[in-house]
Amino acid sequence: MSVCAELWALRDGLELALHGNYSPIHIEVDSHIILNIVSKPPESYNCYNAIVIDCRWLLSRLREAQIRHQFHEGNKVADALANMGCTTSHDFCTFHTLSVGVATFMEFDRGGVGFTRLCNPNNS
């Protein structure tokens, strides 16, 4: 996923949390780039400044919001939800109930079950 798409996903999630009055929240991102962009002082002429400012403002409005890095393999729920979102023709989706597959991954994530990621050695 592109940096811009990840920042928009973060912004949309923060906006949902703020308007839904969800607190405290624990945010996990699988991109060090996103974590650094949002956590560190803004760089001048950064093409993402507007959305980063939105993310920081939303984070400041949420009580007890924590953001940290999580390896892609450590959050199968986010991966399953992203895959579900890719199968729809809508630009933005919210799911009000969990499918059986997502609920199973949630239990795995809660229990700290890790998954091995297979990488193609020819793609270096």
Q: Are both 101 and 51 inside the same structural domain?
A: no
Q: Are both 13 and 65 inside the same structural domain?
A: yes
Q: Are both 37 and 76 inside the same structural domain?
A: no
Q: Are both 61 and 102 inside the same structural domain?
A: no
Q: Are both 20 and 60 inside the same structural domain?
A: yes
pLDDT at 11: 94
> What separation in angstroms does the CA of 105 have from each of 2, 32, 85, 89?
24, 23, 16, 24
Q: Domains in the chain: how many in total?
A: 2
State which residues of the chain have pLDDT below 70: 1, 42-45, 72-75, 114-124
Q: Are both 13 and 64 inside the same structural domain?
A: yes
